[in-house]
Amino acid sequence: MIGFVAWRLLQAIPLLIGVSLIGFGLMHLAPGGPLAVYTLNPTIQAQDIERIKIIFGLDQPVHVQYVKWATGIFSGNWGYTFFGGRPVLDVILERLPATLLLMGSALSVAIVLGLSIGVLGAVKRYSVFDVLATTGALFALSFPTFWFGLMAIFVFAIELRWLPSGGMWELGEEGNILSLLRHLVLPTMVLALVITATWSRYSRSAFLEVMQQDFMRTARAKGVPPAARLMRHAFPNAAKPLIALLGVELPFLFSGALVTETIFGWPGMGRLFVDALNMKEYPILMGMMMFTAIFVIIGNLLADLAIAAIDPRVRLR
Amino acid sequence: MTIRISRRGILAGSATLLAAPAVWGQSINRDRIILAMTQEPVQFNPLLYVNAGTENVPEACIFDALWDVNDKGEFFPNLAVQVPSRQNGGISADGLTWTVNLKRDVKWSDGQPFSAKDVEFTYQTIMNPNVAVRSRAGFDLIKTFRVKDDHTVEMELSRPFVPFLWAWQNMHIVPQHILGREQNIQTAAFNSQPIGTGPYLLRSRTAGSHMVYERNPNYHRGPAKVRQFIHKFVPDQMAAYGQARTGEVDYYALSGVPPDRWTEARAFPDRDFLRYPSPNVQFIYYNCGKPQFADPRVRRALTMATQMQKSIDDIYFGTWPRTLSYLQPTHWAYNSDLRDYTNDAAGAERLLDEAGWRKGPDGIRAKDGVQLKFTMSTTAGNTARQGCQALFQQNWKAIGVEMEIRNMPASVVWGEYTTQSRFDTLLVAWDPTVGLDPDYTARCHSKMIPVKHRQGSNYVQYENAEVDRLLELGVTQTEQADRIATYRQIQAILHDEVPFAAQGGSVQGHLKRKQLQGPTPNQYVTDITWNVYDWAWA
């Protein structure tokens, strides 16, 4: 297994170089750039923009800019932001805990709920519950997240005044776990709603497929109780596609949720990305892209290892 | 020990958690003021900030300028003992030598004394080619800068420049004893952990959430009235408005209450709704370098055909004042003799016929093989501006002019597409160019066209010798009455030749708790915390 992991990590190096090359190239090929932010400043003039262009190194050819950036990355220097002049890694890492908390809680809630609903829907196929769950999932997937977000704020924060409408803490109560939990409820609820819908659909179809297999019929014929059939026989087999799905979703734990974070003022990676994109903050965008790419690789590697662990037929080579 | 978790227990626990704050927000904490904005500052060095508005907040809290400007447009001293003028001897008779006397009892928040060296260093940093200072407007006219003693500086200008007061009002003073040691000011730790002379000190920052300031006990004008000031970031406009309603924030400013909610917001019994004019004026920019717009009669006819007042009434719910110049109608230099000639489609048609632009078989006007067809661009996603564009499109279609809406992301449309004058027309909002001085040299002097002279911001490529002369005269006149006369003439010519057609002056709707005193609309600054030192609870 160690050889397998080492080989996969070695394979990741050219992959990351490729991702960075394509990302950097596309970013610079796209029209516009970071200097547009200055144009709207009333005092700025053409000569100022030219001067700032040189200071940011944007006057140099794209390949020279790339080599400078890549050399920095290899030596552990992720560069500095254009606006603020702060180390990119610091800017990313200071947003990470908030995103991990929100995405982690939403994903946990969604997986538990989605799995339960999916399994129940598969076991009681075409029942009233199954029809309601299917309709509910369709509803949750069809409506935009920002609508759910604004409705949640309107009902629970403005009308009922039960919960805060945004932010991560009550100001001045940073570190108060109860305050954090209260602020976490609405964004988690909104985000989990959509993820639950996805997971319930995936798990329903995965379990349905497994439950129609011969070995399930055999287990039933042997008199294995329903709960044991589900847990010992169906679950390990149905879990494989779900683990693969989890592997793919792992990077979202770090990349954040753009819409939910914006509506609830949650200080996570999603908002950092939106702000950086609006201002064409190339160093932050590149940093976030590499960060996400690394976690895509790790997520898939972990998923492969987990599948091998639960399925003896899978050999890691 | 076994912990038993029952379903009933979970339900009861959840209900307790949810119901704990029976009514969220509401109560006032008189020890602090919470100000909400939709944008977050990323740069706390006052010389390097990019986003006026939100980045003005740390600037106003932490730093001081030599002088500030009040809501009547009058300068008042801050770090300087007095605002230089001819009367007090601060400006020489020829307008070339400026002497500034500095206060003696000022200390940086780390305890070091403030001195003339800091002012000199601030000037040197502004002119440093390796520092991305947003503008050198005015400072590039300083020929020599002398530190006469610890509390006096003298500057000699290469030519008289009255808006020089605005240049210094816009640039806050930074500490020489800290930044002078930095190899690279662009990446200095100071930019996120600033030391200033201002009324508040930056205590903490939670990225993406808020910044906490504590009052500076040694502030040279005396400690601020409220112990703590919090600048909170709520990126969604409606969510921020919601927080102002629930009382989670005490004051919601900048992008403010959406115009369609102004009536509702005015009715809240425990809130004050502030109609806050900004220095911003929205224009249609005609690129005079394009063949369609070379003739001033075409630009005037196009403007005549537009329903400007209707656009304000229908799209901005009548919240903006109509302006006919690049200044807000309440500005001291505004030319109130200008007459609104818009909403006159018949007159526009006559003028276009007179200028030789005749309707072709397809109904589109043309002259010498050039059709009167063009594009109009602005920031994609700005729904209000898109509404205006649609209205103008209809207005122009009715007189045989075809306009295509071509909007782009901000980083595209305001990049070289604007600065290299590649557009046909733009819908854009801009402030005056040197603080709120009426000087408009950068925007309409013929030597300020970037594609021709690599300087200025005359993106419409407008050229008029008389306007050039008046602009050059205006910045040398020290008497306000003389300046008013000059700038009224400039506005009259621009109104007649229309390189840009003013639509309306931007006004924001702010919402604050009734008990919060201090926030005062000031159309002369972009900074809504311009008097944060005076904010207090009643």
Q: For residues B288 and B426, is the Cβ–Cβ distance under 8 A?
A: no
Q: What one-character DSSP code corresponds to residue B103?
A: P
Q: Which range is least confidently modeled, A157-166, A194-203, A233-242, A248-257?
A: A248-257
pLDDT attached to residue B6: 55
Cross-chain residue pair A45–B455, CB shorter than 8 Å: yes
Residue A315 located in a structural domain: no
Q: Which residues pair with B98 in a beta bridge?
A: B91, B155
For residue A256, the number of C-alpha atoms closer than 13 Å in the C-beta half-sphere is 28
H or E element that contains A238: helix A235-255
Q: Give the Cα separation of A269 and A279 in Å (integer).
A: 15
pLDDT at A253 over 80: no
Q: Give the Cα separation of A188 and A168 in Å (integer).
A: 12
Number of cross-chain residue pairs from A and B with Cβ atoms under 8 Å apart: 222
Residue A128 located in a structural domain: yes
| A68 and A208 together in one domain | no
What's the CATH number where A289 sits? 1.10.3720.10
Compare CB distances from B430 to A42, A50, A181 and report the shortest one's residue. Answer: A42
pLDDT tens track for B386-413: 999 999 999 999 999 999 999 998 888 9
- In terms of residue numbers, what domain contains A10? 2-75
| A129 and A100 together in one domain | yes
For residue B159, the number of C-alpha atoms closer than 13 Å in the C-beta half-sphere is 8
Distance between alpha carbon A296 and the CA centroid of its chain, in Å? Answer: 10
| A60 and A109 together in one domain | no
Q: Give the Cα separation of A254 and A288 in Å (integer).
A: 9
| A196 and A125 together in one domain | yes
Instruction: Report chain A residues whose CB lies below 8 A from the CB of B234.
Output: 166-167, 265
Following DSSP, what letter does each residue of A30-81 receive, concatenated? SS--TTHHHHTSTT--HHHHHHHHHHTTTTS-HHHHHHHHHHHHHTT---B-
pLDDT attached to residue B21: 44
| A113 and A37 together in one domain | no
ipTM value for the complex: 0.75
The interface residues of chain B toward chain A in range 135-164, judged by CB-CB distance below 8 A, are 135-137
| A113 and A67 together in one domain | no
| A120 and A64 together in one domain | no
- Radius of gyration from C-alpha coordinates of chain A: 24
Residue A112 located in a structural domain: yes
Mutate to test the interface with B, among A81, A113, A171 (most CBs of B within 10 A): A171
Mutate to test the interface with B, among A40, A43, A158, A266 (most CBs of B within 10 A): A43
Q: For residues B504 and B323, is the Cβ–Cβ distance under 8 A?
A: yes
Q: Give the Cα separation of B305 and B350 in Å (integer).
A: 11
pLDDT at A215 over 50: yes
Q: Is the pLDDT higher at B43 or at A20?
A: A20
pLDDT attached to residue A145: 83
pLDDT tens track for A218-240: 988 998 898 888 888 888 888 88
Residue A81 located in a structural domain: no
Q: What one-character DSSP code corresponds to residue B340?
A: -
Domain boundaries, chain B: 64-190, 279-507
pLDDT attached to residue B23: 46
| A31 and A146 together in one domain | no
| A191 and A231 together in one domain | yes
pLDDT tens track for B192-229: 899 999 999 999 998 888 999 999 999 999 999 999 99
Q: For residues B86 and B478, is the Cβ–Cβ distance under 8 A?
A: yes
| A63 and A100 together in one domain | no
Q: Is the pLDDT higher at A2 or at A28?
A: A28
Spatial CB neighbours of B264, under 8 Å, sequence gap ≥ 6:
none
Q: Give the Cα separation of B183 and B131 in Å (integer).
A: 11
Give the 3-state DSSP-derived string for B62-86, with helices as H, strands as E and coil as C. HCCCCEEECCCCCEEECCECCCCCC
Q: For residues B521 and B73, is the Cβ–Cβ distance under 8 A?
A: no
Compare CB distances from A38 to B134, B208, B235 and report the shortest one's residue. Answer: B134
Residue holding tokens 């297994």?
A1
Spatial CB neighbours of B194, under 8 Å, sequence gap ≥ 6:
B44, B45, B58, B62, B63, B202
Q: Which two tokens stand for residue B80?
A: 């300087």
Residue type, A48: D
Specify the number of domains making up chain A: 2
| A133 and A263 together in one domain | yes
Residue A221 located in a structural domain: yes
| A172 and A39 together in one domain | no
Q: For residues A261 and A96, is the Cβ–Cβ distance under 8 A?
A: no
Q: For residues A114 and A198, is the Cβ–Cβ distance under 8 A?
A: yes
Report chain A's mean pLDDT, rounded to a whole number.
87
Q: Which CATH architecture has domain B64-190?
A: Alpha-Beta Complex (3.90)
Q: Which CATH superfamily is domain B279-507 in?
A: Dipeptide-binding Protein; Domain 3 (3.10.105.10)
Which residues of chain B fall below pLDDT 50? 1-3, 5, 14-23
Spatial CB neighbours of A72, under 8 Å, sequence gap ≥ 6:
A78, A79
